[in-house]
C-alpha cells in the first residue's frame, strides 16, 4: 500500500510539474505580449516625434 501511495504521489507531483510548466509558458507569452506592447508604445512616441503637431 505504501508503494502504491508513493506512485500516486509521484503522479500528483508530475501533474503539478506540468501545471507549473504551463504557468511558466503563460509567463513567457505574457512577456512577449509586454514586449509587443512596448514596441507599440515606442512606435507611438516615434510618430509623435516625427509629427510634433499631431495630437496622438
Condensed to tens digits (0 to 9), the pLDDT of residues 37-49 reads 888 888 888 888 8
| Residue 27 domain flag | yes
Domain count, the chain: 1
User: Would you give the DSSP letter of residue 53?
Assistant: T
CA distances from 42 to 27, 45, 48, 51, 52 (A): 22, 5, 10, 14, 15
Residue 51 lies inside a defined structural domain of this protein: no
52 occurs within a structural domain:
no
CA nearest to 45, candidates 56, 36, 37:
56
Average pLDDT value for residue range 2-6: 81
Kindly report, residue by residue over 5-51, the tens digit of the pLDDT.
888 888 888 888 888 878 888 888 888 888 888 888 888 888 888 77
Domain membership of residue 25 (yes or no) is: yes
- Enclosing domain of residue 27: 1-46
* pLDDT band (50, 70, 90) for residue 55: low
Residue 26: how many other CB atoms lie within 10 Å = 10
Does any domain span residue 6? yes
What's the pLDDT at 24?
Answer: 80
Is 3 domain-assigned?
Answer: yes
Amino acid at each position: 500500500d505504501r508503494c502504491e501511495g508513493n506512485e500516486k504521489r509521484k503522479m500528483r507531483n508530475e501533474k503539478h510539474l506540468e501545471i507549473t510548466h504551463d504557468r511558466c509558458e503563460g509567463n513567457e507569452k505574457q512577456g512577449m505580449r509586454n514586449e509587443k506592447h512596448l514596441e507599440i508604445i515606442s512606435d507611438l512616441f516615434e510618430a509623435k516625434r516625427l509629427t510634433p503637431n499631431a495630437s496622438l
